[in-house]
């Protein structure tokens, strides 16, 4: 343990975890609560639904593009300073969005400033938990709280957003975010950032640009699948009035993904050359050579894909087939939210008794069982109670493995590389979320009718992806004992 680093027992845990968990909650909340207010906001601002959807997409893109540069700034500025800066930027964006007279200021406040703020404040959350609680059992407990807050924010966003929008207005939803951020700023003053013993790295601007462009094009490409399909374009793809890709040709998904892949290849070449030249790369290439970490990142990607994708499918089914309102849909998802909370609350106890690998496997199995129950039990005009067993199982499964996967990934690296791995970890989580909604959306859009068959097919698609995550979890090596740390795992080629 480095000198000056407070042990878990020396830190007032509640003073540390509460602001971090609240910050993660509000960022996850912002990613989902807007979906239920799209029509209301469009009418109030005299704009189109497409413009509001574009703002939501841009929020996701901004976070995905800047999460890795944000994690590097954590190393340069310090964890607490970066966390506080992110809160200020985020709160300013939420305030501007709340008073926006038109779509321009709303997009700038919500999509740009809240996206930038999230990219600055999320990486320090996981780094601070890792370095403040070196004991794997304590770390598992507090990762459980933070990961639970992430899942709760994503799951409860539509419900809270729907209630606030219906009872007051959509602007009140942004003011609620401002109030929570202000409370976090007050609470975060008590955070103690363990001092770094190494020099602060230099910022790799070229690497930041290449990685941002790569992730933007990949995520943007994935999101195109809902409108154009995955393989053959369902309609003309236009830039302005010019048809770039005609209907029936290759889907623009792959054009965007290919551009993103080209930028990412250039990024990996760049950071390799920069490191060989003795200069600080945006991310050390060694981060991608750790087998344990890579498998953990795969499970993280699939977890967020499964959660966001399945929630999206169920929300669309309830609203389009059952005719549920936004509030009713949010209430119907409560069993999943409860499952996430129950699993997160038990994270500490489970980490003491079980291998992290075993917990991730159990989480994927529970999620698959839950999806299977939803497909088998849910029918049009059936009781809403038929959703409860499946949603509860999915929530418990996601809650179990979210915590364990984060623990595996962050604990695979020493303190001096926590900034790098935290940025990569959050980026793949955003990528998984985007892929989940895009996959589910493309299946539903491609269905002839939004009935039980489309619902079952979309959930089956999520199930296949979940099975891939299960395979990655099985390939994880066992730790020496339940609760044992996987820290100091050396990179392997």
| Per-residue model confidence as pLDDT tens digits over 191-212 | 877 777 677 788 999 999 999 9
pLDDT given for residue 486 in this prediction: 44
Residue 51 clears pLDDT 70, i.e. is over it? yes
pLDDT tens for residues 103-131?
Answer: 999 999 999 999 999 999 998 998 888 78
User: Rounded CA gap, 157 and 27, in Å?
Assistant: 10
pLDDT given for residue 104 in this prediction: 94
Q: Which residue(s) pair with 232 in the sheet?
A: 250
* Residue 237 main-chain phi, psi, to 5 deg: -100, 115
Residue 489 clears pLDDT 50, i.e. is over it? no
Residue 493 clears pLDDT 60, i.e. is over it? no
Who wins on pLDDT, 331 or 21? 21
- Mean pLDDT over 334-346 rounds to 83
Most confident of 9-23, 109-123, 399-413: 109-123
Residue 176 clears pLDDT 90, i.e. is over it? yes
Tokens of 390: 């499946």
Residue 20 clears pLDDT 80, i.e. is over it? yes
Who wins on pLDDT, 101 or 384? 101
Tokens of 175: 């003011």
Q: Rg of the chain's alpha carbons, rounded to an integer?
A: 22
- Give the lowest-confidence range in 81-85, 111-115, 397-401: 397-401
Residue 163 clears pLDDT 80, i.e. is over it? yes
Who wins on pLDDT, 315 or 462? 462
Averaged pLDDT of the chain: 84
User: Rounded CA gap, 439 and 462, in Å?
Assistant: 8
pLDDT given for residue 110 in this prediction: 95
Residue 359 clears pLDDT 80, i.e. is over it? yes
pLDDT tens for residues 299-318?
Answer: 999 998 998 888 888 877 88
Residue 356 clears pLDDT 90, i.e. is over it? no
* Residue of 468, 130, 94 whose CA lies nearest to 301: 468
CB 191 within 8 A of CB 17: no
pLDDT given for residue 341 in this prediction: 80
Residue 491 clears pLDDT 50, i.e. is over it? no
pLDDT given for residue 326 in this prediction: 66
CB 398 within 8 A of CB 321: no
Q: Residue holding tokens 């010019």?
A: 242
Who wins on pLDDT, 218 or 430? 218
The SS3 assignment for 491 reads: coil
pLDDT given for residue 424 in this prediction: 87
Tokens of 314: 């169920």
How many CB atoms sit inside 10 A of residue 56's CB? 18
pLDDT given for residue 43 in this prediction: 86
User: Rounded CA gap, 212 and 192, in Å?
Assistant: 31
pLDDT tens for residues 223-270?
Answer: 788 788 888 898 999 888 888 999 999 999 999 999 999 999 999 999
CB 427 within 8 A of CB 409: no
Tokens of 190: 């008590």
Band of the pLDDT at 321, cuts 50, 70, 90? Answer: confident
pLDDT given for residue 342 in this prediction: 85
Residue 60 clears pLDDT 90, i.e. is over it? no
- Give the lowest-confidence range in 73-82, 132-141, 430-439, 454-463: 132-141
pLDDT given for residue 448 in this prediction: 52
Band of the pLDDT at 416, cuts 50, 70, 90? Answer: confident
Residue 488 clears pLDDT 60, i.e. is over it? no
């Amino acid at each position: 343990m480095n000198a000056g680093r407070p042990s878990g027992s020396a830190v007032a845990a509640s003073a540390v975890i509460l602001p971090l968990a609240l910050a993660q909650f509000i960022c996850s909340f912002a990613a989902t609560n807007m979906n239920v207010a799209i029509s209301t906001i469009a009418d109030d601002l005299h704009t189109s639904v497409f413009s509001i959807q574009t703002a939501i997409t841009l929020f996701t893109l901004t976070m995905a593009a800047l999460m890795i540069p944000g994690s590097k700034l954590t190393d340069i500025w310090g964890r607490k300073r970066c966390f506080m800066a992110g809160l200020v930027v985020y709160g300013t964006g939420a305030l501007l969005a709340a008073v926006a007279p038109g779509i321009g200021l709303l997009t700038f406040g919500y999509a740009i400033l809240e996206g930038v703020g999230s990219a600055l404040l999320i990486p320090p959350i996981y780094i601070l938990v890792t370095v403040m609680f070196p004991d794997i059992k304590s770390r598992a407990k507090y990762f459980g709280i933070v990961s639970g807050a992430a899942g709760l924010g994503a799951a409860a966003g539509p419900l809270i957003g729907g209630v606030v929008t219906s009872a007051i207005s959509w602007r009140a939803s942004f003011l609620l975010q401002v109030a929570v951020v202000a409370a976090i700023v007050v609470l975060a003053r008590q955070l103690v950032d363990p001092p770094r013993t190494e020099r602060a790295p230099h910022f790799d601007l070229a690497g930041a640009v290449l990685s941002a462009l790569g992730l933007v094009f990949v995520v943007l490409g994935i999101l195109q699948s809902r409108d154009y399909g995955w393989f053959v374009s369902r309609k003309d793809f236009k830039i302005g009035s010019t048809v770039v890709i005609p209907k029936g040709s290759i889907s623009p998904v792959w054009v965007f993904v290919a551009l993103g892949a080209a930028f990412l290849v250039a990024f990996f070449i760049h950071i390799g050359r920069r490191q060989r030249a003795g200069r600080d790369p945006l991310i050390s290439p060694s981060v991608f050579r750790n087998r344990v970490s890579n498998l953990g990142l795969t499970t993280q990607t699939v977890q967020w894909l499964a959660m966001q994708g399945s929630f999206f499918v169920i929300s669309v089914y309830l609203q389009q087939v059952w005719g549920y309102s936004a509030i009713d849909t949010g209430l119907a998802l409560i069993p999943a939210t409860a499952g996430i909370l129950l699993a997160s609350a038990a994270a500490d106890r489970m980490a003491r008794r079980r291998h992290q690998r075993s917990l991730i496997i159990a989480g994927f199995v529970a999620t698959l069982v839950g999806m299977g129950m939803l497909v088998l039990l849910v029918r049009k005009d059936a009781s809403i109670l038929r959703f409860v067993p499946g949603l509860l199982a999915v929530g418990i499964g996601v809650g179990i493995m979210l915590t364990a996967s984060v623990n595996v990934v962050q604990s695979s690296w020493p303190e001096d590389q926590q900034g790098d791995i935290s940025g990569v970890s959050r980026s793949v989580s955003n990528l998984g979320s985007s892929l989940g909604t895009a996959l589910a959306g493309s299946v539903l859009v491609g269905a002839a009718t939004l009935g039980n068959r489309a619902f079952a097919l979309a959930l089956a698609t999520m199930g296949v992806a979940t099975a891939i995550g299960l395979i990655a979890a099985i390939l994880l090596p066992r730790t020496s004992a339940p609760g044992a740390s996987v820290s100091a795992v050396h990179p392997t080629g």
